[in-house]
Structure 1
């Protein structure tokens, strides 16, 4: 199985990294920002750098959509996993078109409100993971696994 791990740098990337016991045994690649924390953490990993800022930035959404087409066509992942943020949106929609399974993990620090990214990808995910039971009011078919900390 080939896995694409998509996430902004910072906390989103850290949460994906904390899932290491699940992805370490698989062929994988990462999509994230070209920032100091991501280049350091992923120094020995295959990675593609996406355009940022992503939140509410239409130009970078378009650029990341083209990047998603290029990368996903080349890599052909079986599974795409993301913890957000906005860079997940084009990779999930293009990935779905290419037949990849999608797992989205809603962020730990949003208990009372859904994220914009979560709301956008929820309808197309194969598994939508929650870290709080309270998040069920926004994502009724989500699966609560508790906190990834």
Structure 2
């Protein structure tokens, strides 16, 4: 009886052990440099007169990251290549009073932006501020934010 039981267990075990399958899945990763954005200085128009126009030149955002990578770039949540960009300046004491800074002579690379072989991309622009004659006297401020992400 023990012999029959042993033969049964050996047969049963060998039937199920021969019905196995195995396959390896390779897992790979490539580590790349993170994105970093810097600029060449804040824009300060200083004291300006009602009814005047003021311009600034040679402003640059520089992006650093992995060479030759495609990136999406936005300025204040708008694609840099989609349309003319303007930055609202809000009056310090009266939020309903604004001035508008227009970006001029912007670098435009079409819809595709790519870091160069050194892993850099430079976005350059000039600005223009037209102050209406009836602009509320006081301090105005705004922000220009560049956001970059890998495609």
Q: What TM-score do you get using the length of structure 1 for normalisation? A: 0.21
> Which structure has the larger Rg?
2
Q: What TM-score do you get using the length of structure 2 for normalisation? A: 0.21
The structure whose residues are more often helix, as a share, is: 1
The structure whose residues are more often strand, as a share, is: 2
